[in-house]
Chain A
Amino acid sequence: MTDTAIHAHGLTKRFGQLVAVNAVNLDVPRACVYGFLGPNGSGKSTTIRMLCGLLTPSEGEIDVLGLRIPQQAEQLKRRIGYMTQKFSLFDDLSVRQNLEFLATVQGLPRQQGKARVDDLLRRYRLDDRTEQLAGTLSGGQKQRLALAGAIVHKPELLLLDEPTSAVDPESRRDFWEKLFELADDGTTILVSTHYMDEAERCHRLAILDNGNLVADGTPKELTAKLQGRTFLIRADAPRKVKEALEDQPDVLSVAQIGNELRVLLRHSDEHVDAFKQRLQRIGLPFDVESVTPSLEDVFVAATRRHEEQAA
């Protein structure tokens, strides 16, 4: 057994003219929480679907848990849990019926299945609504039920497609606690998200943009690369300063946050003072301060760089 749970090389998916996923290389270590960060339509769901054999790649190779996908997808299906982006359990079955159905379908023996379902109901705090129809649960409850359903057979690999969209921050924190519990037990988890704070929690992450993998690594590695390139500017007329800054060739992006401007530079070799001096030429009053890069900066830097390379 290798230490790699997922290995993909040159993974590409085309829908007619549209390239939804473009030559993505991916290595996900075992027992790791691996994040997939990307905006809407960046190809997160498509990639996950190819990894579990639901979509056939147009090009590329996939190896998941030592199996060739899509050829050996059927064997893989016993060993993975998949939580779809859209709630996909049965609205018109009760919470318990849903879990019992999945337990049987996943091949758990009757007694063992019952015990497992009871255990999950307790652990995922659904034991007070076992007879409620799944369709009438709240967003957070549905999501707990879906996660319970995905792990009923204790899969080695868990693929979660935006599991926390439309869930309040409290429930999200709660949900991530559960994910780390599972990872501690040795489950590999691939989770897609478009929340920066969630991406920050992952052991490793990949940033997808427009079907391209534009950066990957641990959150620390990724932010470290931007050291010295991020600044915060306070100004009385932020919009005017923003316009002036956007004309500067080495400014990669300027984002207004309240009265402050967050600036990302193309190169990190510039000293704060040099940057300051150059800004003085604009002739507007302001105040510059160096700040630690965030994942959002990483995201912007990676996607901009990619756009320019493409252009």
Chain B
Amino acid sequence: MNLRRLWAIMLKELRQLRRDRITLAMIMGIPILQLILFGYAINLNLRHLPAAVADQAQTAGSRAAIQDLLASGVIELHATAQSPQQLVDLLREGRITVGIAVPPDFERRKLDGREAIQVMVDGSDNVVQAAAGQLAQYPLNQPDNFHARVETPISVVSFYNPERRSPVNIVPGLVGVILTMTMVLFTAVAIVRESERGNMELLITTPVSRTELMIGKVLPYAVIGLLQTSIVLLLGVWLFRVPIRGSLWDVYLAASLLILANLSLGLLISTRAKSQFQAMQMTFFVFLPSILLSGFMFPYAGMPPPAQWIAELLPLTHFMRLIRGIMLRGAALGDLWPDSLALAVFIAVMLTLAIRLFHKRLD
């Protein structure tokens, strides 16, 4: 390997990148956008849901109970209703997502210790339905896509499990998701683009070696990957006070492992894809299972065994364990050696395959 040639290729890549506004925007924009989106989705915790109240009791007690519900901030009065039936209509029309019905015998029910207030929730909204599911005590005879529930305001707030959905848990994983999304795509496309534009035919007729070409094209993106990692970490710590309990060095080492794994995968894709569009399709073929199976969205333990086997093949799964361990539990990279090793093996296999499959030929 000739270092001057390697440098020439990297320099060329960086110069081209500087003129590629869309890719540049993706490099900075995706981490920022994702972090803010996920961060807000988390902080919202079902606030200001449009609601209507049908108070058929009209007692001081019922009015006070309704005031309590409104004061929780979870719901916001958007319409008034006279009967539960009107609430159902409003729900169906989509004008409210929560309906609160106070029956005429509110006071007696309260005394008897029976459910005194009905909270109807729009079940066609996943998040609201998930909330309703946790509240479930008994279903009422309502149209299919509605769930009717009886609860007090406090319990409505509590069905968001702060453990699972807090930024603290999301941000470390987000580093991995963003790196998986961008790194694979960037390299896969970067090489296929040169074939499409005809540059590759020129490049492979020069004395540049396969390894110089592959590594020279990939290294600039590794730097970009570390930059993205820094953006997410900085914003995560600053906006959401995400802790970094382990060593920062280990965090970057783990990120580097994931970056290299994804870059090698991107290279492998680039040797197979015939067009940029194909490269993109193949990238999503990897990206979707990564998002769904890596443990970022759904807990790994809850998945059926075949899904777990697939998950074990995905770099993001291993990174998810590494980064959560390091950042949240203060583990060292060495403690998590099985996952570090898995990533290292992945890199070695993918890179070898990619260099093997890449020929300085057109056929």
Contact = CB atoms under 8 A, between A and B. Distances in A.
Given A56-B363, A77-B206, A97 B12 contact: yes
Nearest to A82: B205
A269 B11 CA distance: 67
10 contacts: A54-B205, A56-B363, A70-B361, A74-B207, A77-B206, A86-B198, A86-B201, A88-B202, A92-B20, A97-B12
B197 A106 contact: no
A54 B12 contact: no
B16 interface: yes
B2 interface: yes
A107 B206 CA distance: 10
Given A88-B198, A97-B12, A105 B207 contact: yes
B4 interface: yes
Given A54-B205, A77-B205, A92-B20, A101 B12 contact: yes
Nearest to A94: B15
Contacts of A149: 202
Nearest to A97: B15
A92 B197 CA distance: 11
B6 to A, nearest CB: 10
Given A74-B207, A90-B12, 13 more contacts: A55-B363, A77-B205, A77-B206, A84-B202, A86-B201, A88-B198, A90-B16, A92-B15, A93-B15, A97-B12, A101-B8, A104-B8, A107-B5
Contacts of A133: 19
Contacts of A55: 361-363
B199 A105 contact: no
Contacts of B203: 105
B208 interface: yes
A95 interface: no
A133 B18 CA distance: 13
A295 to B, nearest CB: 29
A104 B7 CA distance: 9
B8 A105 contact: yes
Nearest to B20: A92
A283 B182 CA distance: 79
A122 interface: no
B16 A52 contact: no
Interface string B170-204: 00000000000000000000000000011101111
A32 interface: no
Nearest to B18: A92
Contacts of A84: 198, 201-202
A151 interface: no
Nearest to B194: A90
Interface in B323-363: 360-363
Interface of A: 49, 52-56, 70, 73-74, 77-78, 80, 82, 84, 86-93, 97, 101-102, 104-107, 133, 149
Contacts of A91: 197
B22 to A, nearest CB: 12
Interface of B: 2, 4-5, 7-9, 11-12, 15-16, 19-20, 197-199, 201-208, 360-363
Contacts of A89: 199, 202
**Listed residue (A87, A91, A101, A105) with the most chain B CB atoms within 10 angstroms of its CB:** A105
Contacts of B206: 77, 102, 105-106
B5 A104 contact: yes
Contacts of B5: 104-105, 107
A274 to B, nearest CB: 53
A157 B203 CA distance: 17
B161 to A, nearest CB: 49
A205 B361 CA distance: 27
B346 to A, nearest CB: 30
A211 to B, nearest CB: 16
B149 to A, nearest CB: 59
A87 B198 CA distance: 7
**Top 10 A-B pairs ranked by shortest CB distance?**
A104-B8, A88-B202, A88-B198, A86-B198, A82-B205, A54-B362, A92-B19, A105-B206, A78-B207, A92-B16
A105 B288 CA distance: 38
Nearest to A13: B363
B12 A49 contact: no
Contacts of A78: 207
Contacts of B362: 49, 54-55
Contacts of B20: 92
Contacts of B202: 82, 84, 88-89, 149
A1 B102 CA distance: 103
A31 B203 CA distance: 25
A49 B8 CA distance: 25
A86 B195 CA distance: 12
Contacts of A70: 361
